[in-house]
Amino acid sequence: MIREPPEAASSSNNTETLTNLIETRSFKDHSVRIAMLDGIPHFSVADICAAMGWPEAAEREIYDPSVPRHAVADVMEAPAAPAAKYLTTPGVWNFVRLMDPGRGQGISRWAKQVSTEFCPQPALGDPRMFLSLTADYSLPEKPYRFSGWRREWYELQSSDDYVNRFALRRTTTDQRLAAQIEAAEAARLAAIAERTGEVSA
């Protein structure tokens, strides 16, 4: 299955960024470009594919719904150059998990180690640096043993947010329902006001 980008102009929630803060690190014999965006390292998807021997079309896997949009960034590597796709460290794990989770353990672990060099003191819980629960407070897929993410996954499993996930889901549902009711009531009042105005005229 060939994935297509979302209909929106950009596949991520990140604004295209022109940056000179691009460095390279070697994974085995391959250079991987790393862009620093808001102090967070992002890894070139094209370089990851090249390092793993995956075809260029593999980049489309970043559009899989399981890859959070905050994990993907558009980076203009040079003036007038087309935007290139970059991934946060958890984004790298998500990407290789979709492509080949067993063989991808090495580059996933490497990206996590390199990210600590570029961002040694990230904000605790920042989803651009740490594993996070899904939008419905579920756990992400369990990482492979040597991916570098297994311990963090267990910590997430015992986190307050996950333990209290049912209450959080219920709260979120209640908030959405309240918003829908409020919007419906506003629409009803607007319709009454419009009809009243027509009668007065």
CA angle 144, 148, 151 (to 5 degrees): 85
Residue 187 in domain? no
| Residue with more model confidence, 57 or 200 | 57
Residue 119 in domain? yes
Is the pTM value of this prediction over 0.85?
no
Domain that holds residue 45: 17-124
Residue 134 in domain? no
The mean-pLDDT minimum among 10-19, 88-97, 136-145 falls in 10-19
Residue 57 in domain? yes
| Residue with more model confidence, 198 or 91 | 91
Residue 104 in domain? yes
Q: Report the SS3 class of residue 103.
A: coil
Residue 144 in domain? no
Residue 166 in domain? no
Residue 155 in domain? no
- The secondary structure of 133-147 as a DSSP string is --TTSPPPPPPPTTS
Count how many domains the chain has.
1
What CATH number is associated with residue 30?
A: 3.10.260
- Do the Cβ atoms of 5 and 11 come closer than 8 Å? yes
What one-letter code names the amino acid at 194? Answer: E
C-alpha 141/C-alpha 33 separation (Å) is 27
* Average pLDDT for 37-48: 95
C-alpha 79/C-alpha 185 separation (Å) is 50
